[in-house]
Chains A and B, each alone.
Chain A
Amino acid sequence: MYEYDDFDADFVRARVARFRAQVERRLEGALTEEEFRPLRLLNGLYLQLHGYMLRVAIPYGTLNGRQMRQLAMIAERWDKGYGHFTTRQNVQFNWPRLSDVPDMLEALAEVGMHAIQTSGNTIRNVTADHFAGAAADEIEDPRPHAELLRQWSTDHPEFQFLPRKFKIAITGSPHDRAVTRANDIGLRMVRGPGGESGFEVSVGGGLGRTPVAGRVIRPFLPAADLLPYVEAIVSTYNMLGRRDNKYKARIKITLLEHGPEALTARIEERFAQLRREFRGTDRQMLARIRRQFAPPPFEEKPLAPYEAARAADPVFRAWTDTNLTPHRRADHAIVTVSLKAPGATPGDATSAQMRLLADLAGKYGHDELRISHEQNIILPHVHRADLPALHAALRGAGLATANIGLASDIIACPGMDYCALATARSIPVARGIAARIGELKLEHEIGPLKIRISGCINACGHHHVGHIGILGLDRAGVENYQITLGGDGTETFAIGKRAGPGFAHDEIVPAVERLLRAYLQLRRDRRETFIETFRRLGGAPFRAALYPSKDKADAA
Chain B
Amino acid sequence: MSRRFTPKIVTANALEEGDVIFLTADDIWSRDHREAELIEDEARARLRLLHALSQPHVVGACLAEARMGENGPEPVRLRDAIRARGPSNYPHGKQEHGLHV
Chain B residues lying within 8 Å of A425, measured Cβ to Cβ, are 78, 82, 88
**A51 in the interface, Cβ–Cβ < 8 Å?**
yes
Q: Interface segment, A92-100, A257-265, A272-280, A285-293?
A: A92-100
Alpha-carbon separation in the docked complex, A428 to B87 (Å): 10
A97 in complex: contacting residue of B17, B82, B90, CB < 8 Å: B17
Chain A residues lying within 8 Å of B89, measured Cβ to Cβ, are 345, 417, 427-428, 431
Is B18's CB under 8 angstroms from A427's CB?
no
Is B86's CB under 8 angstroms from A50's CB?
yes
**A479 in the interface, Cβ–Cβ < 8 Å?**
yes
Is B87's CB under 8 angstroms from A417's CB?
yes
Is B79's CB under 8 angstroms from A428's CB?
no
Chain A, 41-57, contact with B by CB distance < 8 Å: what is the 0/1 string?
00000010111100000
Chain B, 85-98, contact with A by CB distance < 8 Å: what is the 0/1 string?
01111101100000
Is A416's CB under 8 angstroms from B79's CB?
yes
Is B15's CB under 8 angstroms from A98's CB?
yes
CB distance from A84 to the nearest CB of B (A): 10
Is B59's CB under 8 angstroms from A417's CB?
no
Is A47's CB under 8 angstroms from B18's CB?
yes
Please judge, given known A-B contacts A96-B18, A97-B16, whether A50 and B78 are in contact too, CB under 8 Å: no
Interface residues of B in 38-71 (CB under 8 A from A): 56-57, 59-60
**A29 in the interface, Cβ–Cβ < 8 Å?**
yes
Interface size on B, residues (CB 8 A): 25
Given contacts A50-B19, A50-B92, A98-B15, 5 further A-B contacts (CB under 8 A): A29-B56, A33-B59, A47-B13, A50-B83, A51-B19
CB distance from A525 to the nearest CB of B (A): 38
Is B93's CB under 8 angstroms from A50's CB?
yes
Is A418's CB under 8 angstroms from B87's CB?
yes
Subset of 16 A-B contacts with CB under 8 Å: A29-B56, A29-B57, A47-B59, A50-B19, A51-B19, A51-B20, A97-B18, A98-B15, A98-B18, A345-B89, A345-B90, A416-B82, A417-B88, A425-B82, A428-B88, A428-B89
Alpha-carbon separation in the docked complex, A94 to B92 (Å): 10
Alpha-carbon separation in the docked complex, A526 to B16 (Å): 56
**Dominant SS among interface residues on chain B:** loop
CB distance from B69 to the nearest CB of A (A): 17
Alpha-carbon separation in the docked complex, A29 to B56 (Å): 6
**B4 in the interface, Cβ–Cβ < 8 Å?**
no
**A14 in the interface, Cβ–Cβ < 8 Å?**
no
Interface set of B (CB-CB < 8 Å, partner A): 13-20, 56-57, 59-60, 76-79, 82-83, 86-90, 92-93
**A477 in the interface, Cβ–Cβ < 8 Å?**
yes
Is A27's CB under 8 angstroms from B16's CB?
yes
Alpha-carbon separation in the docked complex, A50 to B57 (Å): 16
CB distance from A390 to the nearest CB of B (A): 28
Is B79's CB under 8 angstroms from A422's CB?
yes
Chain B residues lying within 8 Å of A422, measured Cβ to Cβ, are 79
Alpha-carbon separation in the docked complex, A427 to B89 (Å): 7
Chain A, 167-190, contact with B by CB distance < 8 Å: what is the 0/1 string?
000000000000000000000000
Q: Which residue of B is nearest A49, CB measured?
A: B83
Is A51's CB under 8 angstroms from B18's CB?
yes
Is A95's CB under 8 angstroms from B16's CB?
no
Interface residues of A in 383-429 (CB under 8 A from B): 416-418, 422, 425, 427-428
Interface size on A, residues (CB 8 A): 28
Interface set of A (CB-CB < 8 Å, partner B): 26-27, 29, 33, 47, 49-52, 80, 94-99, 345, 416-418, 422, 425, 427-428, 431, 477-479
Is B18's CB under 8 angstroms from A50's CB?
yes
Chain A residues lying within 8 Å of B17, measured Cβ to Cβ, are 51, 97-98
Alpha-carbon separation in the docked complex, A95 to B91 (Å): 13
CB distance from B8 to the nearest CB of A (A): 15
Chain B residues lying within 8 Å of A27, measured Cβ to Cβ, are 15-16
Alpha-carbon separation in the docked complex, A316 to B57 (Å): 54
Q: Which residue of A is nearest B92, CB measured?
A: A80
Is B79's CB under 8 angstroms from A51's CB?
no
CB distance from B85 to the nearest CB of A (A): 10
Alpha-carbon separation in the docked complex, A479 to B82 (Å): 13
Alpha-carbon separation in the docked complex, A79 to B54 (Å): 29
CB distance from B93 to the nearest CB of A (A): 5
Please judge, given known A-B contacts A417-B87, A477-B77, whether A99 and B92 are in contact too, CB under 8 Å: no
CB distance from B1 to the nearest CB of A (A): 23
Q: Which residue of A is nearest B20, CB measured?
A: A50
Q: Which residue of B is nearest A428, CB measured?
A: B88
Q: Which residue of A is nearest B60, CB measured?
A: A47
B78 in complex: contacting residue of A33, A80, A94, A416, CB < 8 Å: A416
Per CB-CB distance, the 5 closest pairs between chain A and chain B, nearest first, are: A51-B18, A417-B87, A52-B18, A29-B56, A345-B89
Alpha-carbon separation in the docked complex, A431 to B57 (Å): 37
Alpha-carbon separation in the docked complex, A33 to B13 (Å): 12
Q: Which residue of B is nearest A477, CB measured?
A: B77
Q: Which residue of B is nearest A26, CB measured?
A: B15
Alpha-carbon separation in the docked complex, A304 to B96 (Å): 50
Alpha-carbon separation in the docked complex, A446 to B63 (Å): 47
Alpha-carbon separation in the docked complex, A50 to B88 (Å): 12
Chain A residues lying within 8 Å of B88, measured Cβ to Cβ, are 417, 425, 427-428
Alpha-carbon separation in the docked complex, A345 to B78 (Å): 20
CB distance from B33 to the nearest CB of A (A): 13
CB distance from B35 to the nearest CB of A (A): 18
Chain A residues lying within 8 Å of B79, measured Cβ to Cβ, are 49, 416, 422
Chain A residues lying within 8 Å of B90, measured Cβ to Cβ, are 80, 345
